[in-house]
Structure 1
Amino acid sequence: MRRTTPLALAAAALILAGCGSQQGTGSSDKVSAPPRGGTPSPTRPAGDCTGHAELTAADHGRTVCVAEGGEVRLTLDGTRARPWKPVTASGTALKAVNAGFVLQPGDATAAYQAVAAGTVKLTSSRPLCAQPTAPGRMSCKGIEEWSVTVRVG
């Protein structure tokens, strides 16, 4: 039987306590793109942007606000058969920084520092279906698009 130490219990309690907490959303009436659950949420006023945003494929279509000096990191999980293209950024409000290593073939990762007020659109794409592995099999030309708008405030 495994013995649980008081330190491990305290760490677990802190982790669980953080799971239910949320940052305030401000008092704005504006509505942003739907979050992962699909329900629109109020946007944050410019002075209430987050300092760190973690994005995934599920965030497609969202708009996020990051404070100047903050960081945006993203990971798009792909496969060898359906790899994500490298992420591109349109705009000058974000500066690319080292995202680390991609360990899985087909994944795309990127990291940016928010360096100036403005708006940037991050984009990538991948094949909608795997390409045929044998001659004579049907191929698919569809493309899955991914984009997130980042507002630096």
Structure 2
Amino acid sequence: MRRTTPLALAAAALLLAGCGSQEDTGSSGKASEPPSPARSTAGCASHVELKAADHGRAVCVSKGGEVRLTLDGTKARPWKPVTASGTGLKAINAGFVLLPGDATAAYQAVAAGTVKLASSRPLCAEPTAPGQVSCEGIEEWTVTVRVG
């Protein structure tokens, strides 16, 4: 008969605790933000930082606040420039030096409204030699920003 030590039980408990956790799917409406962002009275963030992992999320930024985003790509799988459709945000200088394939953008929240930010990139790198595998798939990225 095999004995289970307290150390083994503790390790198993830690592993199981991690299995039950899930990634935030955006149900709170907030994107990745600095640890203690300043908040407006409406509950919107004054500064929002977006990454590729924020795809599909909806965020709220207070009027006068900023939205900044960085999509890390590669030379073989580059992100297209970010587009903004809607009202409420004004493009400002992102202030970043881009690496080949990256896309960055920055916006100031100037008026109440809703804006859809979008970009895309190839799912696969283009083949560099005959006979290599390639695909025609596109990876989409979108985030909805509400200015409150």
User: What TM-score bracket applies, with the shorter chain setting the length?
Assistant: 0.7 to 0.9
Separation in 2, partners of 1:96, 1:39? 24
Structure 1 gaps, min length 5: 1-34
8 Å contact kept, 1:87–1:123? yes
Choose 1 or 2 for highest CA Rg.
2
Residue 152, structure 1, aligned to residue 140, structure 2: no
Structure 2 residue runs of 5 or longer lacking an equivalent are 1-21, 31-38
The match for 1:37 is 24
Task: Give the aligned partner of residue 71 of structure 2.
Answer: 76
- Equivalent in the alignment of 1:119: 114
AA in 2 matched with 1:152 = V
Identical counterparts, % of pairs: 76
Q: 1:98 to 1:116 in 2, by over 3 A?
A: same
Contact 1:95-1:114 at 8 Å conserved across structures: yes
Q: Distance in 2 between matches of 1:101 and 1:111?
A: 10
Q: CA deviation at 1:121?
A: 0.2
Tell me the equivalent position of 1:47: 42
TM-score normalized with structure 2 length: 0.74
Shift of 1:62: 0.4
Q: By how many angstroms is 1:46 displaced?
A: 7.6
| Aligned partner of 1:86 among 81, 84, 93 | 81
1:4 maps to none
2:129 pairs with 1:134: yes
- Alignment RMSD, CA only? 2.2
CA distance in 1, matches of 2:81, 2:146: 21
Give the CA deviation at 1:100.
1.5
Partner of 2:36: none
**SS of 1:116 mapped into structure 2:** coil
Alignment of 1:97 with 2:84, yes or no, is: no
Runs of 4+ in 1 over 3 A off after TM superposition: 42-46
Does the 8 A contact of 2:29 with 2:60 survive in 1?
no
Kept in 1: contact 2:40–2:62 (CA 8 A): no
Q: TM-score, normalised by structure 1?
A: 0.71
Q: Distance in 1 between matches of 2:59 and 2:118?
A: 14
Residue 56 (structure 1) aligned with residue 51 (structure 2): yes
Aligned-partner Cα distance in 1 for 2:68–2:26: 23
Displacement of 1:108 in angstroms is: 0.2
Count of residues in Structure 1 that have an aligned counterpart in Structure 2: 119
